[in-house]
Amino acid sequence: MALPALLCLCAAAFSTHGDYRLAGLFPMHAPAPRAAARPLVDSCDDPATFKSHGYSLSQAMRFTVEEINNSSAILPNVTLGYDIHDTCSEPANLHATLRALIQKGRQEVEVLPTFLHYEPQVVAVIGPDSTQLALTTAAVLGLFLMPEISYEASSEMLSLKRFYPSFLRTIPSDRQQVKAIFLLLQRFGWTWVVLLGSDNAYGRDGLEALYKLLTKSNICVAYRGIIPVHKDASSPELHNLVRILKDIRVNVTVVFSSRRSARSFFEVVIQKNITGMVWVGSEDWSLAPAIWQVPGIQSIGSVIGMSIEKTEPTMLERFQSWKIAQRSAAAEHAGSTGAGGGTRGDTQLDCTQSCTSCHLSAAVPNMYDAQASFNVYSAVYAVAHGLHDLLGCASGACSKGKVYPWQLLQKIKEVNFTLYKSHISFDTNGDIQKGYDIIMWNWSGLSWAFNVIGTFSVNPDRLNIDESKILWHTKDQQAPTSLCSEACQPGEKRLQRNRHRCCFSCVACPAGTFLNRSDLYSCQSCRVDEWAPARSEACFNRTVEFLSWSEPLSWALLTLAVLLMLLIAGLTLLFALNASTPVVKSAGGKMCFLMLGSLACACSSLFFYFGEPTWHTCLLRLPVFNISFTIFLSCIATRSFQIICIFKLNARWPALYEAWLRRGGPVLCIAASTAAQAGLCLALEAASPSVPRRDYGAWAGRVVLECGGAGRAASAYTALLSAGCFALSYAGKDLPAGYNEAKCLTCSLLLQLACSAAALCTQGALRGRAREAAGALGALSALGAALGGYFLPRAFVILLRPHRNTPQHFQMAIQSYTRRLGSA
């Protein structure tokens, strides 16, 4: 048999002696296809199934052990040995696990009541590589509290210490990888994605964790599928999976898969001519040569993947130099023994130290092997540091005492050191605190390469992307989009179309509502003192509206009010100077001053319409006007009744007028009418207080600050009194000229009634400043009409017709009235 083939057959038994031994579990061959009725331990000796990656990792362990043995800084005067096993299948992995538990000096695994003093041949296990194998190994080794440090098993399930108490790892947990993928999807706004995972513990657990995380975010999973294992490109299941992927028409697909499953899947993707997509890959296959060497793989689109943090090149360079030296030594030894001479026993030394044909198969180093090799390197050093502490080597010499697995496990959990700028320590779950590099495939050159476009760091979780390093497959070199529905315009809520919240139509938020970015599926109402136009993303404070002092309309009304008060003051002065004249006496004499005073008081109530309403202004506005104007109208009614009594009723009932005067009829009439109005105003204020209130229903963007309360009943009483005055004045339409007020007073009362009615109507139709201005203008018009209809004609006579303001003129008018009655 030729030497290279012979050496590969025995490559599964690399071992060397030492004071303390480590077991290494590495997949150096793929499982041979067979159908057996019962489990068998595979021989792992088929050269056709050789795996250079696993072999490279086994060499990393050998290199690390030799480096530690040659170092005086760690484990002085102590040598480490190793047993390297080929875990080409699950039975082989279990067999290697049990061999690691064999007691020292014996060839059996003894079941004891307690393993406190159990002393196996090896003190720790490095490996295995996959989650599926690690679950079995961790469960078995956990019973003995045998330290196990995996370099590639990343499933989050292995962090459960109640099931796997002695498991640790130098590769980050998939929990961190899932977070990194999630942040990557968020970073590029990809909310409509497909999730695919391989049909093993690694793929299913990673897929489930990612799905749970996405369902709590704004990212929707269009389809979630499983990639079958141990299937080639002719598998109907794979073809059906790719067909579904093609029909969904999603631009981004996350493939959380093992290398072997991913290769078959992408072979079918290439067959189905699926191009122009973005593929987000998990750490296990992102840099694997088995994937990027698939023919035609460069046409599938952009590939972004997770990768373990970049390894310091110094260690890799030393490791590469060591491998070259080992290869040279093996070649020299093979030449000295002859290519075909010797038996298998004669070449056992070669098999336990090196594998010449394996070197030939793995001559080209790659980053995938390099990063995993550093994980092995870190795992061996973690065991060495734990053993260094346990043996008390800090004093300069190690004790070389018995080492029980549980003792070493406790020390390994506490290690804290740095290897080539990489910090090595474990958390309470046995996970190493490392992040990921975000890599992107680069086909711009003659061969495959990759760019590190970002990093994901932990504690706190943070994703950094350098977009200048990204080479997209799109023509415009812009990041592709992956959306079920285009984003709505600002202020438009999403109306979900189906079970996927990312598939929606857009509906504008109506006025008075806004779209809160924390909830894109419902419009929220603004607060009562806020408003929002249609399609708004925020509410705005309403403008408080009232009739302020500074507005031009206010100035105009205030000017009229001041002029009216000046007119009242002038008339009062005029009537006081002419108090003894017949015109003033016929107008009521001293009662004129009460009437003018009531009008002035009513006019002062107009000032309560301006400025911000307060409790006092609202309380005084209507009562002051209504009571004051009631006094004026009561005086007119009393005076009109007296004149009618004198000229018309005195002849029939002469005692009526005397009794009216004797019993103080004018005073009682005025007091009773005024008291009735005051009582009515008091009752209305008690039932519905005139307090400032805010009207939110007038306009969307404004809130009207106005006085509340019900003043219509008091205004109705005033209108009824005006109607009575009108009737009395009309009854005296044929009285003597000096006493006949039917024309002027009738016009005045009609104008006052019209103004009051107009004010009531407009106040009901108007809001805000216009309503307040209408009320003030109505009151001003009523006062002006009353003053103009009653006092201005008399002032006109006093000032411009003095010949009518004489006793002779009034006497002649009475005589003329008497003759007219006599002739009638």
For residue 821, what pLDDT band results from cuts at 50, 70 and 90? low
- DSSP assignment of 646-675, as one string? IIIITTT-HHHHHHHHHTTHHHHHHHHHHH
Check whether 22 has a pLDDT greater than 90: yes
The pLDDT tens digits for 119-166 are 899 999 998 988 889 999 999 999 999 999 999 998 889 999 999 999
Is it the case that residue 13 has pLDDT exceeding 80? no
Residue 689, classified by CB atoms within 10 Å of its CB into exposed (0-12), middle (13-18) or buried (19+), is: middle
* 192 and 484 Cβ atoms separated by less than 8 Å: yes
Closest C-alpha among 760, 783, 374, 297 to residue 560: 783
Bridge partners (DSSP) of residue 509 are none
Supply the range of the domain harboring residue 502: 492-541
For residues 657 and 737, state if they share a domain.
Answer: yes
Is 342 a residue whose pLDDT tops 60? no
| Residues recorded for the chain | 824
Structure tokens at 823: 């002739």
Q: How many whole angstroms from its chain centre is CA 556? A: 52
The pair of structure tokens assigned to 741 is: 């007020």
pLDDT at 148: 96
pLDDT band at 436 (very low <50, low <70, confident <90, very high): very high
Q: Is the peptide bond before 623 cis (omega within 30 degrees of 0)?
A: no
Pairing of strands 702-707, 692-695: antiparallel
CA distances from 482 to 188, 189, 221, 281, 441 (A): 9, 8, 11, 16, 20
Question: Of 541, 574, 605, which marks where a domain is finished?
Answer: 541
| C-alpha torsion sign, points 266, 269, 271, 277 | negative
Question: pLDDT class for 1, splitting at 50, 70, 90?
Answer: very low
pLDDT more than 70, % of the chain: 85
Res 348: pLDDT: 34
Task: Give yes or no: residues 595 and 675 share one domain.
Answer: yes
Q: Are 75 and 18 in contact (CB under 8 A)?
A: no
Tell me, yes or no, whether 415 and 537 share the same domain: no
Least confident of 124-128, 452-456, 747-751: 747-751
| pLDDT value of residue 125 | 96
Q: Is 452 within the bounds of a domain?
A: no
Whether 514 and 606 share a structural domain: no
CA distance 108 to 86: 20
Angle subtended by helix axes 665-687 and 654-662, to nearest 10? 60
Does 142 lie in the same domain as 46? Answer: yes
The two beta strands, 220-227 and 192-198, are parallel
Q: Distance (Å, rounded) from C-alpha 238 to C-alpha 575?
A: 113
Task: Flag whether 197 is in a domain.
Answer: no
Residue 562, helix vs strand vs coil: helix
- The residues near 627 (Cβ < 8 Å, ≥ 6 apart) are 674, 677, 678, 681
Q: Are the C-beta atoms of 660 and 642 separated by less than 8 Å?
A: yes
| Domain match, 594 and 656 both | yes
* CB contact set of 389 (below 8 Å; sequence gap of 6+): 411, 414, 415
**Tens digits of residue pLDDT in 236-293:** 999 999 999 988 889 999 999 988 899 999 999 999 999 989 999 999 899 888 899 9
Tell the burial category of 708 from Cβ atoms under 10 Å away from its Cβ (0-12, 13-18, 19+). middle
797 and 805 Cβ atoms separated by less than 8 Å: yes
How many other CB atoms are found less than 10 A from the CB of residue 516? 15
Give the contacts of 237 (CB within 8 A, at least 6 positions apart): 228, 231
Last residue of a domain, one of 425, 453, 472: 425
Which of the four pLDDT bands, split at 50, 70 and 90, describes residue 614? Answer: confident
Does residue 151 contact residue 410 with C-beta atoms inside 8 Å?
no
Please indicate, yes or no, if residue 225 is contained in any of the structural domains.
no
Give a yes or no: residue 800 inside a domain. yes
Report d(CA 539, CA 534) in Å as an integer. Answer: 11
pLDDT at 328: 80
Tokens of 452: 């590190």
* Same domain for 672 and 813: yes
Same structural domain, 535 and 604: no
> Where a domain ends, among 478, 508, 541?
541
473-519 confidence digits (pLDDT tens): 888 888 899 988 888 899 999 888 888 888 889 999 998 899 988 88
Does residue 658 belong to any structural domain of this protein?
yes
Number of domains in the chain: 3
Radius of gyration of the chain (CA): 52
> If you ran DSSP here, which 8-state letter would residue 648 be given?
I
Q: Is 143 inside any structural domain? A: yes
Residue 778: closest CA among 622, 635, 673: 622
What's the mean per-residue pLDDT of the chain? 83
The DSSP element (H or E) to which 149 belongs, if any, is strand 148-150
Burial class (CB in 10 A: 0-12, 13-18, 19+), 521: exposed
Q: Is there a single domain that holds both residue 530 and residue 609?
A: no
DSSP assignment of 252-299 equals: EEEEE--HHHHHHHHHHHHHTT--SEEEEE-HHHHT-HHHHTSTTGGG
What are residue 259's DSSP bridge partners? none
Write the CA distances from 189 to 450, 481, 484, 490, 538, integer angstroms: 23, 7, 12, 17, 24
**What is the model's pLDDT at position 442?**
92
Amino acid at 565: M
State how beta strands 692-695 and 540-541 pair.
unpaired
Q: Percentages helix, strand, coil for the chain, rounded to the nearest 5?
A: 50, 15, 35
Nearest Cα neighbor of 349 from 6, 744, 662 is: 6
For β-strands 277-281 and 252-256, DSSP reports them as parallel
Q: Which of 83, 58, 200 is CA-nearest to residue 135?
A: 200
The residue written with tokens 């249609």 in the block is 534
> Per-residue DSSP letters for 430-475?
S-B---EEEEEEE-SSSS-EEEEEEEEETTTTEEEE-GGG---SST
The full 3-state SS of 748-774, as one line of letters, equals HHHHHHHHHHHHHHHHHHCCCHHHHHH
Token pair listed for 37: 């009725």
Taking only the tens place, the pLDDT of each residue in 180-211 is 999 999 999 999 999 999 998 889 999 999 99
Strand partners, 452: 439
- Residues 531 and 611 occupy one common structural domain: no
Beta-carbon-side half-sphere exposure of residue 88 (alpha carbons within 13 Å): 25
* pLDDT tens column, 752-802: 777 777 766 776 677 777 888 888 888 888 888 888 878 888 888 888 888
Q: How far apart are CA 441 and CA 369, in angstroms?
A: 17
Q: Is residue 344 part of a domain?
A: no
In contact, 441 and 302? CB cutoff 8 Å: yes
Q: Is residue 675 part of a domain?
A: yes
183: its two tokens: 């942040």
Average pLDDT over residues 328-332: 76
Residues 673 and 528 occupy one common structural domain: no
Strands 543-545, 702-707: pairing is parallel
Q: How many CB atoms lie within 10 A of CB 614?
A: 13
542 contacts: CB under 8 Å, gap ≥ 6: 529, 530, 531, 696, 701, 702, 703
Task: Find the helix or strand (DSSP H, E) in which 142 lies.
Answer: helix 131-144
Same-domain status, 10 and 155: yes
